[in-house]
A and B are shown apart, each in its own frame.
Chain A
Amino acid sequence: MTSDLLATILSDLVSPTLLGLALLGTVLGLVFGALPGVSSTMALAVMLPFTYGMETAPAMVMMLAVFFSSVYAGSVSAILLNIPGTPGAMITLLDGHAMARKGRAAEAMSYALIASIFGGVVGWILLVLLAPTIAHYALQFGSPEYAAVVLFGLALVAYASSGDTLRGLAAGAMGLLVGVVGRDQVTDVPRFTFGTADLQGGIDIIPLAIGLFGIAEVLSLLCRSKDAADPVPESAGRTWPRLRDLVGEFPTALRGSVIGTFVGAIPAAGSAVAVALAYAFEKRLSRTPDDFGTGIPRGVVAPEAANNACVGGALIPMMTLGIPGDSITAVLIGVLLLHGLRPGPGLFENQPDLILTIYGGLFLAILLTAIVAGAIGIPVYRRILAIPQRLLMSAVLILCILGAYSVRNAVIDIWVAIFFGAVGFAFIRLNIPVLPLAFGAVLGPLLEENLRRTLLIHKDVGVFFERPVSLLLVSVSLAILVLPTVIGLLAKLRRPD
């Protein structure tokens, strides 16, 4: 197996066709991923028609390169512009953009790249070694466990976001309400559509994220007085971190990578939950948790390692069970189906060469992302900061309009982005964390689907406390939300004054 894999990687490296397609995919992924509103899914969807005339192996190698590099590049707009390109980059902006504001944008992008590559390699190793076993355990998850995973993710985000937990919970509830807008998937009954046809399909997450993070940030900058203005300065600092600083982040990267791979392997949990979990975990372990969100490398390394480790993790259920881990792997399944192949256990028996090519292709994508982004990407991205603020703000707002529109070519998405831009701006002014709202909107449909399925099958919410995994997740979620308040109250009572 190992020798076959090494031989495949080497043959991929020396094959001009595969190498060329992987390089093309990497460059396109780095460009698409860095554009706000152009998610990894959209990048893959745009490239899908180009694979029609290709053999399966070159098509998969190119698509994997787009996949991996665009997931990393999502952090670029999060760091530079405070706009996450993908849901997986939502956490990165907390410390990444804060680092950029301190004049350490290039360093933040380097940390993100190194963590992404590290996470990608760990995810790849675990994919190759543990694919069948992890997939087996992921398949054991029922609807109570999925619903509990969503609650757990939201609790982590409410706790880990800046501001306080009560405001975070209120924002999370608003986000979950946004997630239920549109026609109900089961009964086709409209909810909160206000009689308009445009909202029947629900609110797309990308325009919402563009508004909450991109537009709101620029509106906030516009309202600062000249003296108080603190925009992203052109990075005068170093591009690459010092070796000893990098070594210090190794345990964080490793923990983030393992979390990312395992959460990525849970179908539909996705990178959004993985990055929140990795970030909250590091914050919990830290001796200085208050530093998170102020612009520390650890706040970039943990979510980025988890985000890119999710790539390997998401491929596990896709390849072994035929279940897409997220919308991106759903497109990859589409590539296999286009070529007459059905992913699942049969793929391992009938197409062992293709499995090795996929493993080799992902490794090639990681390698090329490291080389291209490191040598060309970061220096090019860095030049964005040399653009005068007035032009950058104007361009970002136009980019937000175009990015929102291009998701579905629908005018309603522009309105959604503008509306949530205003909401995000109000949240910033009121010191309410924005992230739980976005996460709630992402996870709302997943929560509802699994909550209803649980109640339909088990008829009782008590089932959450009867199954060990859901019991553990619900208990930890409650502890995360309640313990800090209880500890704070106890500390106040103990004070003599």
Chain B
Amino acid sequence: MSPTPSDDAARREVVNDLVSGGLCLAVSLGLAWVHFAQAGRLHDNFGRDPGPALLPQVLLLCLGLAGLGLSARGLLGLRRTAAMAAPGSVRSLWPALAAVLLMAAFIPLRGLTGAAAALAVIGAALAVLAGRTDTARWPVTALMGGAAGLALYALFHFGLSVPL
């Protein structure tokens, strides 16, 4: 019998538990390594003050325990649920990655062309990306996106005196 949509949803939650648990464990272990490897006064005895290392250590422990709990729940769930009929594809994430890269491009572009031109270019590119499945012609979309970028630049730079 093939898996039903509700089976798929249950399996997806199991996968989410496993990935979330792995993420929590990785973050807690990674930050613990940074925390305990830090030289200087972080781990000094501050007398009556519990010191600046106390809360981070408690939180890293909590995060690690939450990661273990999620991983254990995910592993138990693997046994109880069937494999998904249509697993999600990582390729579907490319628009998000492209948008992140475009936003990050603002900082070097601002240095090269100035903030107004950078925002116009990025606004145009983001509008084309967001409207990729629309029926509107892309040059028009790009022009309107660029204009929106310039309008927001004007609002923040001239209206709110933000030194862009």
Contacts and interface: CB of A to CB of B under 8 A. Distances in A.
Interface of A: 38, 46, 166-167, 169-170, 173-174, 176-177, 180, 184, 186-187, 189-192, 194, 215, 218-223, 225-226, 388-391, 393-395, 397-402, 405-406, 409, 411, 414-415, 418, 421-422, 425-426, 430-432, 444, 447-448, 451-452, 455-456, 459
Contacts of A192: 31, 34-35, 56
A391 B20 CA distance: 33
17 contacts: A166-B66, A173-B62, A180-B55, A184-B52, A187-B41, A189-B40, A189-B52, A190-B40, A191-B53, A391-B131, A391-B148, A394-B127, A394-B148, A397-B103, A402-B119, A430-B23, A455-B50
Contacts of B119: 398, 401-402
B136 A448 contact: no
B133 interface: yes
B96 A425 contact: yes
A455 B55 CA distance: 12
Contacts of B134: 388, 390
B70 to A, nearest CB: 6
A170 B52 contact: no
Given A166-B66, A390-B141, A418-B104, A398 B27 contact: no
A225 B132 CA distance: 11
Nearest to A400: B103
Contacts of B127: 390-391, 393-394
Q: Do most interface residues of chain B lie in helix, strand or loop, or is the interface mixed?
A: helix
Interface residues of B, number: 69
A481 to B, nearest CB: 12
A166 B56 contact: no
A388 B148 contact: no
B162 A405 contact: yes
Contacts of B144: 391
Contact of B148 (A215, A226, A395, A459): A395
Given A177-B31, A406-B162, A398 B41 contact: no
List the 9 shortest-distance A-B pairs measured between CB atoms, nearest first.
A390-B131, A184-B52, A170-B66, A394-B126, A394-B127, A219-B96, A393-B130, A222-B95, A390-B130
Nearest to A43: B160
B95 A223 contact: yes
Interface in B107-144: 107, 119, 122-124, 126-131, 133-134, 136, 141, 144
Contacts, number: 185
A215 B102 CA distance: 12
| Residue of B31, B54, B130, B156 ringed by the most chain A CB atoms within 10 A | B130
Given A166-B70, A394-B126, 12 more contacts: A169-B66, A174-B63, A187-B52, A225-B92, A390-B130, A394-B149, A398-B152, A402-B119, A405-B162, A414-B106, A422-B96, A451-B54
B56 to A, nearest CB: 5
A452 to B, nearest CB: 5
A226 B133 contact: yes
B96 A452 contact: no
A459 B56 contact: no
A385 B119 CA distance: 22
A391 B145 contact: yes
A166 B69 contact: yes
Contacts of A222: 95-96, 99, 129-130
Interface in B57-98: 59-60, 62-63, 66-67, 69-70, 73, 92-93, 95-96
B41 A219 contact: no
A35 to B, nearest CB: 8
Nearest to B67: A170
Contact of B130 (A38, A394, A444): A394
A395 B123 contact: yes
Contact of A409 (B35, B124, B133, B163): B163
Contacts of A406: 156, 160, 162
B162 A402 contact: yes
A223 B92 contact: yes
Given A173-B63, A191-B56, A422 B100 contact: yes
Interface string B25-57: 001000100110010111000101111111110
A167 B66 CA distance: 8
A178 to B, nearest CB: 10
B48 to A, nearest CB: 5
B103 A180 contact: no
Contacts of B123: 394-395, 398
B88 to A, nearest CB: 8
B21 to A, nearest CB: 8
